[in-house]
Structure 1
């Protein structure tokens, strides 16, 4: 499992508070750091989920070590409500893993040349497909909303102009055009291609949609007292978690004029009123932890409630891109 350092591990374990005989879902198995720590913290059982075949292979190794305590399932964490077993807690570590970034052939990193892929599940449209098929306006909206890139329009215009003569198939090619448009250094000091690559990765893997569905699924399957712990690394991800938990922890209200409570009862009680962040020592040892935010809550006995899943307006869905290919 070397190569991946689980972020905020002590804080995650404290929020999860694993107990004997519990069944805990590690919805983003990755390198297995959380799963192994949970199994070591209490005589419980863990079910690991991941859509990345490489992560699934690592999970099967752990299942061979601990066949009675760990089970690996290849699926999206948004489908955790399909688990046919009572669940006591769910932990999600959102975003790309060190394994994926470090493998040039996966196409996640602009620091290494590789195919412009970025698919966590290795199926569906790749980042190259997205770059080839989206219009200038659609690419601009994508970079702006998912990457929060200030130069989204200029970058999209350059990509659409250049792809007429040569398609973008390599990470180095895309990173190069972004650097050419906005210079060697980004306005906030990061690599110029950081936000464009981030936006593409989030879009190609529908990461915000998957997260929102997973939150709803966790609410549906967790019993009263069940715990939900989410670690995110991007402002859009954290905003989705914060909004969801704020809505679900808001109690029904009334007044002296209308003493009857109105609105649905709170389905979660917050463990963390504000996000927990990594310590200075952890950030120094693992720079990936610098943007991590942990939010956690405990399920109440109130019924789960549906929530519409949002999408990015002005940009086609992945299914639409697949059909157009």
Structure 2
């Protein structure tokens, strides 16, 4: 089965007064039809920038985007015209942004905004588009959808606004859905509802989904495969069971060890020491070396940047000493 989305050697840089920010450095991954790929990492690791580069939503300048290829169904998105990208976005590729209050237009009714997405990509009347909007609100669990469609975004709670964003994203049955931290700032009960809704939306549309998050609990619940990013690069990737059971990068291990667990009697969590690297002047060697217990001053870690090395089918790690990682879990 050929990949739905192929990203090869993606590099994104931003020109700033402080210098060039190397936000994404040589990222490559595939997304298969119908799968849930979770991209996880700390804030500033390059997750959202990678997604925005794929969608062609980064302003150039200050952004500089290059890659060996970004292909959707075999079509080179880097070579696509702005009109072609606009035709793809909202139709074959949809996105759910992190903050629905800023993504939704505050002066237009919710139903109108959903109907507009439909009319931009489908030859339907206003009445048909409005009915589709109401049907979508019903699908995502908004109560009394006929009257709620006539309300404005500020009249919705955070969780309900996120349901509206999901309704807009699936309006035209996309092949690829990108959800950029869709549960940020929601309480755990609403978060669970939104995640369940994303699963339902995936089943309804058959879409492949890229879920960007910093929450490993979300990854464990949702992912088929996981990509771990740090310092603008992929440091580990594989199926979710393998990565959680036998992580082969110290950063992945650190993320997992910092989580509270029910099967251990632990008084204190184990945080990752230090801070993420300065991407204006990234380190010469491994970007995680300064925080890594495995590096421990080894010259190779600070002088040579590790590449992503296959360990098993579908599992790869960017660590010089990955074989030393044995996790007692």
Say which structure is richer in helix. Answer: 1
TM-score clears 0.5: no
TM superposition score normalised by structure 1: 0.32
Higher strand share: 2
